[in-house]
C-alpha cells in the first residue's frame, strides 16, 4: 500500500501510519486510544502507552440510549490524561470500525486534535510492532469540554424522515443481505431486535468495509474511494448526506471516510440506524 | 437424570464470585485471565476444518462446541474459537470448560444463557452478548440431546 501522503486524500493529516505511531510512543503530546468491539481485547495486549476507551461504558449513557454528557466526556478525558491540546490517535480491531466510532463521539465534543492509525490493530500486529499488557497511568488532566453538539454530524429520526421526504441522499453501509431485508442482522451476528427488514427509501447500499483493504486494514486510495462512492453510488461532495447502519458504529466509519478522506462537507451519522428505523411504526421501508 | 437439576456447584460458586465484583476493571481483568486459560479442542477430538454441526449459530467469534458422554452420565466439554480477536468467547469457553465439564448432563442442561449477563454485565455489545449466549445455549442443547439418548457432535 502506498504511503498516506501519496493517496491524495483531502485531509491526509487525519491519518497516521503505524510507523508514525511507533516513533511517537513517548511523545507526551500524543495519546493513543484503543477502542474495540470486544472490550476484553485491550487487556490481552495493546500498544505501549495506549489507554482503553470501552465504547459500552465510556461513550454511552448507561440509562438512556444516548452518548455521554459533557461531564462524562470531561471525566473520561481527565482520567485518560488528555487535555484539549493533546493529539488523540485512535486505533482498534475490525479495521478501525470502533476506533472511528470513538473518533466520531469525540467530535461531538469538538476534540479536533484527533487522528486514526491507518490499519488499526491488524496492521500493527502484522508489522510485528510491540504490544504490552501493562496499563499506563497518567496524571489526571484538566479538560473543559463544550456541550455536546448533535447538530452538525449526528442525525435523528425526525431529521432522517425529512431527509427522505426531500429525496436527499442516504448511504446504508450494512451488508447487502441486511439492505435487501433478506436478513435482519450482519452475517454471523445474531438479530439485535429489528422487527422489519429492508432499508430507508432512497438509500444507496455501500458496505462500510469497501473502504478498506481487507489484508492490511488500511484505507483505500482517494481514487479508489471515488470510484466506490462517487462513480459507484452517485454521491457528491457538497450534498447533504446521512449514513446509517444498525446502531451507528459501521456508519461512523463511512462518515470518517467521506468527511476526511474524501472531503465531503455535510455528512451526518444516523446512530439510531436500523435498530430504530426497523422498529418504528408506520415509517416507509424499501426492500 | 432430568433437566430440572440444579446447575453445577462450580458454576454457581464462580457466578457468585463474579457477582461480588463491582469494579469494572477488576471484572474485565478476571475475564481476561480466563481467556488466557482457554484451551482449544484437542486434535484427538476434532481437527480443522471443524464440522459445521459443532458450530455455534450466529457467533461472530466462530465458536465450536463438543460434548462427549463420559462415565456416570457426565459430559466432557471441548471448545474452539476461531476468531483470534474473540477474547470474550475464549473467556466464556474457558469458564464453561472449568465449571461444567465433568458435570452431569442434567446439571448442564439446567444452565441458563443468562449467565452471560452475570459474567459480562454491560461490558459487551448486544450482538456479542447474544453470540455468547448462543455458546451457552449450544452447550445446553447438547446436554439435552444426551439426556434424550441422542448422539452429539
Beta strands in B19-111 (DSSP E): 63-70, 74-81
Q: Answer yes or no: do B126 and A193 touch at CB < 8 A.
A: yes
Joined grid coordinates for residue A105: 463521539
pTM of the prediction? 0.89
Give how far Cα B106 sits from Cα of A152, A242, B73, Å: 56, 52, 8
pLDDT at B4: 54
CA distance A170 to A204: 6
pLDDT in tens, A102-156: 999 999 999 999 999 999 999 999 999 999 999 999 999 999 999 999 999 999 9
Altogether, the residues listed in chain B come to a count of 153
Asked which of A137-146, A178-187, A229-238, B67-76 is least confident by mean pLDDT, the reply is: A178-187
Give mean pLDDT, residues A153-177: 97
Q: Answer yes or no: do A185 and B58 touch at CB < 8 A.
A: yes
Joined grid coordinates for residue A151: 447538530
Same fold, A4-126 and A157-277: yes
Q: Is the ipTM here above 0.85?
A: no
CA distance A191 to chain B (A): 7
pLDDT band, very low/low/confident/very high, at A47 (cuts 50, 70, 90): very high
pLDDT at B149 over 90: no
> In A, which residues are within 8 Å of B125 by CB distance?
37, 56
pLDDT band, very low/low/confident/very high, at A245 (cuts 50, 70, 90): very high
pLDDT band, very low/low/confident/very high, at B1 (cuts 50, 70, 90): very low
Give how far Cα A233 sits from Cα of A16, A41, A219, Å: 27, 35, 18
Q: Which residues of A are catalytic?
A: 245
User: Which residue on chain B is closest to A98 by alpha carbon?
Assistant: B125
Q: Answer yes or no: do B122 and A44 touch at CB < 8 A.
A: no
pLDDT at B135: 95
**Cβ atoms of A233 and A208 closer than 8 Å:** no
Question: Residue A40 is nearest to which of B31, B58, B122, comparing CB atoms?
Answer: B31
pLDDT band, very low/low/confident/very high, at A182 (cuts 50, 70, 90): confident
Give mean pLDDT, residues B47-57: 95
Joined grid coordinates for residue A168: 436527499
Sign of CA dihedral B84, B87, B88, B91: positive
pLDDT at B6: 87
pLDDT band, very low/low/confident/very high, at B152 (cuts 50, 70, 90): low
**Cβ atoms of A89 and A32 closer than 8 Å:** yes
Q: Return the CATH fold of B9-147.
A: Sufe protein. Chain: A (3.90.1010)
CA distance A133 to A87: 23
Beta A204-205 vs A114-117: how paired, if at all?
A: unpaired
* Cell 466509519 found at: A253
CA distance A174 to A110: 27
Homologous superfamily (CATH) for A157-277? Rhodanese-like domain (3.40.250.10)
Q: Taking CA A30 as the corner, what is the angle to CA A24 and CA A32, rounded to the nearest 5 degrees?
A: 90
B29 versus A172: which is more confidently predicted?
Answer: A172
> In A, which residues are within 8 Å of B60 by CB distance?
186, 188-189
- Partner A contacted by B26 (CB < 8 A): no
Task: Of A60, A12, A55, A11, give the one whose Cα is nearest residue A34.
Answer: A55
> In B, which residues are within 8 Å of A41 by CB distance?
85, 87
CB contact residues (below 8 A), chain B span 80-109, against chain A: 85-88, 91
pLDDT in tens, A200-241: 999 999 999 999 999 999 999 999 999 999 999 999 999 999
> In A, which residues are within 8 Å of B128 by CB distance?
37-38
**Cβ atoms of A33 and A51 closer than 8 Å:** yes
CA distance A279 to B85: 31
User: What burial class does residue A11 get, using C-beta atoms within 10 Å of its C-beta: 0-12 exposed, 13-18 middle, 19+ buried?
Assistant: exposed
Domain spans in chain B, listed from the N-terminal domain onward: 9-147
Indicate the average pLDDT of chain B: 91
CA distance A230 to chain B (A): 31
Domain spans in chain A, listed from the N-terminal domain onward: 4-126, 157-277
Homologous superfamily (CATH) for A4-126? Rhodanese-like domain (3.40.250.10)
| DSSP result, chain A | ---GGGS--SSGGGEE-HHHHHHTTT-TTEEEEE--SSTTTGGG-B-TTPEE--IIIIIB-SSSSSB--HHHHHHHHHHTT--TTPEEEEE-HHHHHHHHHHHHHHHHTT--SEEEETTHHHHHHHTT---B-PPP--------PPPP--TTTB--HHHHHHHHHTT--EEE-S-HHHHTTS-SS-TTS---S-SS-SB-TT-EE--GGGGB-TTT-PBPPHHHHHIIIIIIT---TTS-EEEE-SSSHHHHHHHHIIIIIS--S-EEEESSHHHHHTT-TT---B-
pLDDT at A122: 95
Amino acid at each position: 500500500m502506498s504511503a498516506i501522503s501519496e493517496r491524495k486524500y483531502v485531509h491526509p493529516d487525519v491519518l497516521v501510519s503505524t510507523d508514525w505511531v511507533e516513533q511517537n510512543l513517548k511523545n507526551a503530546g500524543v495519546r493513543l486510544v484503543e477502542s474495540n468491539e470486544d472490550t476484553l481485547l485491550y487487556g490481552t495486549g495493546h500498544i505501549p502507552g495506549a489507554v482503553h476507551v470501552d465504547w459500552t461504558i465510556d461513550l454511552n449513557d448507561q440509562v438512556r440510549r444516548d452518548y455521554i454528557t459533557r461531564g462524562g466526556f470531561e471525566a473520561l478525558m481527565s482520567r485518560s490524561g488528555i487535555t484539549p491540546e493533546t493529539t488523540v490517535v485512535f486505533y482498534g480491531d475490525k479495521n478501525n470500525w470502533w476506533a472511528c466510532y470513538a473518533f466520531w463521539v469525540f467530535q461531538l465534543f469538538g476534540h479536533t486534535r484527533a487522528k486514526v492509525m491507518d490499519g488499526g490493530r491488524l496492521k500493527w500486529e502484522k508489522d510485528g510492532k510491540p504490544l504490552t499488557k501493562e496499563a499506563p497511568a497518567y496524571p489526571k488532566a484538566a479538560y473543559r469540554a463544550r456541550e455536546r453538539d448533535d447538530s452538525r454530524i449526528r442525525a435523528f429520526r425526525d431529521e432522517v424522515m425529512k431527509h427522505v421526504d426531500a429525496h436527499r441522499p442516504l448511504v446504508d453501509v450494512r451488508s447487502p443481505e441486511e439492505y435487501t431485508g433478506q436478513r435482519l442482522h450482519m452475517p454471523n451476528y445474531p438479530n439485535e431486535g429489528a422487527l422489519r427488514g429492508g432499508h430507508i427509501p432512497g438509500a444507496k447500499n455501500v458496505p462500510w468495509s469497501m473502504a478498506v483493504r481487507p489484508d492490511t486494514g488500511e484505507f483505500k486510495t482517494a481514487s479508489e474511494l471515488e470510484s466506490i462512492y462517487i462513480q459507484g453510488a452517485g454521491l457528491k461532495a457538497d450534498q447533504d448526506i446521512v449514513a446509517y447502519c444498525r446502531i451507528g458504529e459501521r456508519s461512523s466509519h463511512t462518515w470518517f471516510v467521506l468527511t476526511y478522506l474524501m472531503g465531503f462537507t455535510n455528512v451526518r451519522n444516523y446512530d439510531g440506524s436500523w435498530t430504530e428505523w426497523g422498529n418504528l411504526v408506520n415509517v416507509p421501508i424499501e426492500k | 437424570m432430568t433437566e430440572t437439576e440444579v446447575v453445577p456447584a462450580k458454576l454457581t460458586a464462580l457466578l457468585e464470585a463474579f457477582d461480588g465484583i463491582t469494579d469494572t476493571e477488576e471484572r474485565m481483568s478476571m475475564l481476561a485471565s480466563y481467556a488466557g486459560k482457554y484451551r482449544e479442542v484437542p486434535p484427538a477430538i476434532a481437527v480443522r476444518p471443524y464440522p459445521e454441526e459443532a458450530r455455534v449459530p450466529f457467533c461472530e467469534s466462530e465458536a465450536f462446541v463438543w460434548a462427549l458422554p463420559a462415565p456416570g452420565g457426565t459430559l466432557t466439554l471441548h471448545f474452539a474459537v476461531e476468531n483470534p480477536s474473540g477474547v470474550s468467547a475464549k473467556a466464556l469457553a474457558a469458564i464453561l470448560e472449568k465449571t461444567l465439564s465433568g458435570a452431569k448432563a442434567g446439571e448442564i442442561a439446567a444452565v441458563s444463557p443468562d449467565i452471560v449477563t452475570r459474567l459480562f454485565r454491560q461490558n459487551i455489545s448486544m450482538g456479542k452478548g447474544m453470540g455468547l449466549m448462543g455458546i451457552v445455549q449450544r452447550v445446553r442443547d447438547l446436554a439435552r440431546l444426551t439426556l434424550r439418548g441422542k448422539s452429539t457432535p
